[in-house]
Chain A
Amino acid sequence: GAVVSQHPSWVICKSGTSVKIECRSLDFQATTMFWYRQFPKQSLMLMATSNEGSKATYEQGVEKDKFLINHASLTLSTLTVTSAHPEDSSFYICSAPQTGVGYGYTFGSGTRLTVV
């Protein structure tokens, strides 16, 4: 089945540094990927939609300059948290629609970001 590989699974960084999270579709082409943020004991909050070859679309309230999204190829999308602060600590998950009519969505395994 369709698999999305997400790396790293966890990362600890110092305040002010940047962190890059990668999501790769392993056995299918993902022209679109969705990036979510999840706070403890809460559901997923959609941050942005990345589209291969074009600019990402951000949800209201999400800072474009802080959360840089790049969709460089049909199999790779990246999320860079720039100048990270402790309040950016969260669980980030990517998702891609499976190919084919009526197919659902497959999710990455998530990245736990801790900013100290």
Chain B
Amino acid sequence: KQEVTQIPAALSVPEGENLVLNCSFTDSAIYNLQWFRQDPGKGLTSLLLIQSSQREQTSGRLNASLDKSSGRSTLYIAASQPGDSATYLCAVRPSNTGKLIFGQGTTLQVKP
């Protein structure tokens, strides 16, 4: 059974810091992995999607890496800003199903 874990559960950093959010999964048989952002009381916004054959994806200040063999993905946020404060969710799509398996999320607070 696929399980997804995110560490840390919460993170508070001063503005301007570079930071890394971690996501690990137990079964390497995945189709893709997606990082989402969720603001309080809102839906999910897709940040980056990495196919199983890819190693990383970049969008602006965000970079996500994928090491399928070790079951790990990281989301790197450069030069963090207060507007980055949100909960970040990692989700994997197993190879044999269309259902997403979510981690518990990392709640990020960037202080001005």
Enumerate chain A interface residues (CB-CB to B < 8 A).
Answer: 6, 32, 34, 42-44, 46, 49, 91, 93, 95, 97, 102-110, 112
Bound-complex Cα distance A85 to B75 (A): 39
| Chain B: number of interface residues, binned into ranges | 20 to 34
Which residues of B, 21-71, contact A by the 8 Å Cβ criterion? Answer: 31-32, 34, 36, 41-46, 49, 51
Q: Which residue of A lies closest to B50 (CB)?
A: A104
Q: Is A43 touching B103 in the complex (CB atoms < 8 A)?
A: yes
Bound-complex Cα distance A95 to B43 (A): 10
Residue pairs across A and B with CB atoms within 8 Å: the count is 51
Residues of B with C-beta under 8 A to A43: 89, 102-105
Q: A43-B89, A43-B103, A46-B99 given as contacts; is B34 within 8 A of A104 (CB)?
A: yes
Main secondary structure of the interface of A (DSSP, over half): strand
Enumerate chain B interface residues (CB-CB to A < 8 A).
Answer: 31-32, 34, 36, 41-46, 49, 51, 89, 91, 93, 98-100, 102-105
Q: Is A44 touching B32 in the complex (CB atoms < 8 A)?
A: no
9 tightest A-B contacts by CB?
A104-B49, A107-B44, A109-B43, A110-B43, A43-B102, A107-B43, A104-B34, A43-B104, A44-B102
Interface centre among B46, B51, B89 (most CB of A within 10 A): B46
Q: Which residue of A lies closest to B33 (CB)?
A: A104
- Shortest CB-to-CB span from B70 to chain A, Å, is 22
